[in-house]
Amino acid sequence: MTTMTECIAKTEQIEERDARSFDTSIGEVIITQRDGLFYAYKNSCPHLNISLEFQEQQFMDLDHEYLICANHGALFETETGRCVAGPCLGKSLVHVPIQVHSDGGIYLVA
């Protein structure tokens, strides 16, 4: 059984093929939406352990296909967090378990 511990966002805050970050009890978390599904990762590049964005809330590449680390251009699949290009190729963002509730809340799951 999963336990929803903290509402960190509402679904309407994250547009399709976009990403937003939220401060949570476990640190800053990026939530992205693809085809109506939501994915969450810690905001930390596996290459240098720094935040992905230079400008606030800018996490997607120009085509809104991949999450991007603005520091060195690493590209990450939105559905898996796996790096497909850049210096951390083959490594992944740290997945954060979430659950979308019928009230539109996105909750951390313990």
Confidence at residue 1, expressed as pLDDT on a 0 to 100 scale: 60
pLDDT tens across 51-107, in order? 998 788 889 999 999 999 998 899 999 999 999 999 999 999 999 999 999 999 999
User: Per the structure block, which two tokens stand in for 84?
Assistant: 């497909």
Cβ atoms within 10 Å of 12's Cβ, excluding its own: 7
Confidence at residue 72, expressed as pLDDT on a 0 to 100 scale: 87
User: Quick check: 108 and 98 in contact, CB under 8 A?
Assistant: yes
The pTM of this model reads 0.93
Say how far apart CA 16 and CA 63 lie, in whole Å.
12
Domains of the chain, earliest start first = 4-109 (2.102.10.10)
